[in-house]
Structure 1
Amino acid sequence: MIELEGLTKRYGDKVAVDHLTFTVRPGVVTGFLGPNGAGKSTTMRMILGLDHPTAGDVRIDGTHYDRLKDPLTYIGALLDAKAVHGGRSAYNHLLCLAQSNGIPRSRVAEVLETVGLTAVARKKTKGFSYGMGQRLGIAAALLGDPRIVMFDEPVNGLDPEGIHWIRNLMKSLAGQGRTVFVSSHLMSEMALTADHLVVIGQGRLLADTSMADFIRANSRSYVRIRSPQRERLLDVLHQAGITVVEAGGGALEVAGGKAEQIGELAARNGLVLHELSPQQASLEEAFMQLTAETVEYHAHAGPVAVPQDWGAGWKGA
């Protein structure tokens, strides 16, 4: 379990993390979301004792990180896949970590097998692709068979097979009763992986709730209907006190309506339906809705303005 209470970090006048209080519980995958600059990486660094909070407290299973004996057996983390000595082999990198944390040598081969790097275990890491580096970072996080795992952007650089693997790995770890805390900007993947969400913006807590409740609270749900008997359907719905909005393509929308109720109403009145589909926003849409006011860096669509003399003297390459 990871417990944050009033956690705050300031850099001069800049407040990176602003009185964060939440608990990451075992048995579920908890997603950690926020726009760029929201304070996610700083929060994770404070959990691991790499940055010291200006105020507040954070504990790992009730203890500060710097007081843990053999910390890799309590919490394993992937924050930066490139934080590896390029001249060492994957095996020796993990062996150094194992020996410094009292972890048996046999565990090195086990985690290399888990992440699929056995065939390149003796190769120097400077020749690794980004995806291979990610797998090695995950192996290091799993080395101590920890109760808690924390991943920052774990799918970066992974191919589709690798993404599928890490998704199932995180679910499996949570299923074993471990605490799994993962940060990612890939909303489609987070929607498939996380059970619970912690969302921050400008360092402040915006949401701490289940995936389903988060989407429900921050998006519009409706039922989309199409029928060749459109006018009659409108009359039936109005008589039942159901508010209808006309949509494009001849479709109708009922905000917050129950598809079952509408379907039964149509059947009782002998109406033919060509479409009766509940619509729910995606995690990405709900996230954008909640964090719109906290985004620090905005890009703008449209043509890029180029100074008139920018190309003067350009000879090509």
Structure 2
Amino acid sequence: MIELAGVTKRYGEKVVVDDLTFHVRPGSVTGFLGPNGAGKSTTMRMMLDLDRPTAGQVRIDGKRYAELRDPLRYIGALLDAKAMHGGRSARDNLMCLALSNRIPAARVDEVLEEVGLAAVARKRPKGFSLGMGQRLGIAAALLGDPEILMFDEPVNGLDPEGIHWIRTLMRDLAAKGRTVFVSSHLMSEMALTADHLVVIGRGRLLADTSMPEFIAQNSRSFVRMRTPEPEKLHDALCAAGIVVETTPEGAFEVPDVPVERLGELAAEHGVVLHELSPEHASLEEAFIRMTGAAAEYRTGPHGALPAQARGAAEDPTGHRGARTAGKDA
């Protein structure tokens, strides 16, 4: 389990992470979402002691990361696939990690086979494609067969087969009782992978809830109805006290009424229906609705950042255009 209690990170006057408290529990895939600049990468770095919190604490199975003996056996992480040594072979990169964490050498070949890199194990990662480098980073995360896995943008650079593989891997690990924590900007992929969501904006916690609850609480659901007899259907719905919204195409949108009730009502009045379909918001729509006010970087009417956002694009030390751990994706 990963536990954050009152975690805050400041760079000078800039508060990047603001009093974050949440738990990442075993047995499910927890998605970590937030707009650009929300503090996600900084939070994940603090989990691994790559950044120190200004206040609060992070615990991995009850201990700070730095207190873990052989940490790769507790938690495996993919934060930056390019962190591998480009001059060493893929196998040697993993062997160094294995030796430093007392992991058997045989495990190196196992994970290379698992991620599909066995055939290029002797090649140097500086010549790898983006997807191959990503697979090597995933192999490093899996190396210690840890109970906790953290992935930042795990599908980056992967082809469709690779995306399906990593999605299935994460869900299988969670089903075996592992703790899986994944950050991604791909809402369609997150919707297929995550069971639970932690959402932050401007460094603050916005939501800590299940995927269905998050969508239900931050979206508008309705039933769409189309008929060749719009006036007859409209009168029947209004007579039943049902609020109806008409679309420009002439369809009806009916919120807060079960689809079964609407079908029965149409049948009672002899109305022919060409469509009767419940419509639910996607994760992307729910995410935008919740985080719109917390987005630090927003596009202006002509594609330019507003002045306030341009000013915020400075890094915590005041250098324009730079990106640091304090200005993460």
TM-score w.r.t. length of structure 2: 0.91
C-alpha separation in 2, matches of 1:93 and 1:116:
16
C-alpha separation in 2, matches of 1:71 and 1:267:
64
Report the alpha carbon displacement of residue 229 of structure 1 after superposing the two structures with TM.
1.9
The 3-state SS of whatever aligns with 1:134 is helix
Aligned length: 304
Q: 1:45 and 2:19 equivalent? A: no
Distance 1:134 1:303, change over 3 A: closer
C-alpha separation in 1, matches of 2:126 and 2:271:
67
Report the alpha carbon displacement of residue 239 of structure 1 after superposing the two structures with TM.
1.6
Q: Which amino acid aligns with 1:133?
A: G
Report the alpha carbon displacement of residue 209 of structure 1 after superposing the two structures with TM.
0.5
Report the alpha carbon displacement of residue 66 of structure 1 after superposing the two structures with TM.
0.7
Q: 1:291 and 2:288 equivalent? A: no
Report the alpha carbon displacement of residue 65 of structure 1 after superposing the two structures with TM.
0.7
Q: Which residue of 2 is the match for residue 273 of structure 1?
A: 273
Q: Which residue of 1 is the match for residue 264 of structure 2?
A: 264
The 3-state SS of whatever aligns with 1:234 is helix
Q: Which amino acid aligns with 1:222?
A: F
1:11-90 superposed matches below 5 A: 11-90=11-90
Q: Which residue of 2 is the match for residue 200 of structure 1?
A: 200
Q: Which residue of 2 is the match for residue 239 of structure 1?
A: 239
Q: Which amino acid aligns with 2:295?
A: V
C-alpha separation in 2, matches of 1:119 and 1:151:
24
Deviations 1:212-254 (A, max 9, x none): 1111111111111011121111111112111111112110110
Report the alpha carbon displacement of residue 275 of structure 1 after superposing the two structures with TM.
0.4
Q: Which amino acid aligns with 1:2?
A: I
Q: Which residue of 2 is the match for residue 108 of structure 1?
A: 108
Report the alpha carbon displacement of residue 303 of structure 1 after superposing the two structures with TM.
7.5
The 3-state SS of whatever aligns with 1:123 is coil
Q: Which amino acid aligns with 2:169?
A: L
Which 4+ residue blocks in structure 1 deviate beyond 4 angstroms? Answer: none
The 3-state SS of whatever aligns with 1:220 is coil
In structure 1, stretches of 5+ residues that fail to align are 305-317
The 3-state SS of whatever aligns with 1:216 is helix
1:177-256 superposed matches below 5 A: 177-256=177-256
Q: Which residue of 1 is the match for residue 118 of structure 2?
A: 118
The 3-state SS of whatever aligns with 1:248 is coil
C-alpha separation in 2, matches of 1:252 and 1:303:
34
Q: Which amino acid aligns with 1:204?
A: R
Point out which structure has higher relative CO (alpha carbons under 8 A, 6+ apart).
2
Q: Which amino acid aligns with 1:160?
A: P
The 3-state SS of whatever aligns with 1:250 is coil
C-alpha separation in 2, matches of 1:81 and 1:158:
12
Distance 1:303 1:170, change over 3 A: closer
Q: Which residue of 1 is the match for residue 312 of structure 2?
A: none
Q: Which amino acid aligns with 1:255?
A: P
C-alpha separation in 1, matches of 2:50 and 2:237:
60
Q: Which residue of 1 is the match for residue 320 of structure 2?
A: none
C-alpha separation in 1, matches of 2:212 and 2:267:
30
The 3-state SS of whatever aligns with 1:15 is strand
C-alpha separation in 2, matches of 1:270 and 1:8:
62
Report the alpha carbon displacement of residue 302 of structure 1 after superposing the two structures with TM.
3.5
C-alpha separation in 2, matches of 1:303 and 1:295:
15
Report the alpha carbon displacement of residue 301 of structure 1 after superposing the two structures with TM.
4.6
C-alpha separation in 1, matches of 2:112 and 2:291:
39
Q: Which amino acid aligns with 2:18?
A: D
The 3-state SS of whatever aligns with 1:238 is helix
C-alpha separation in 1, matches of 2:302 and 2:37:
24
Q: Which residue of 2 is the match for residue 98 of structure 1?
A: 98
TM-score w.r.t. length of structure 1: 0.94
Deviations 1:79-121 (A, max 9, x none): 0000011110110100110010010011001100110000000
In structure 2, stretches of 5+ residues that fail to align are 305-329
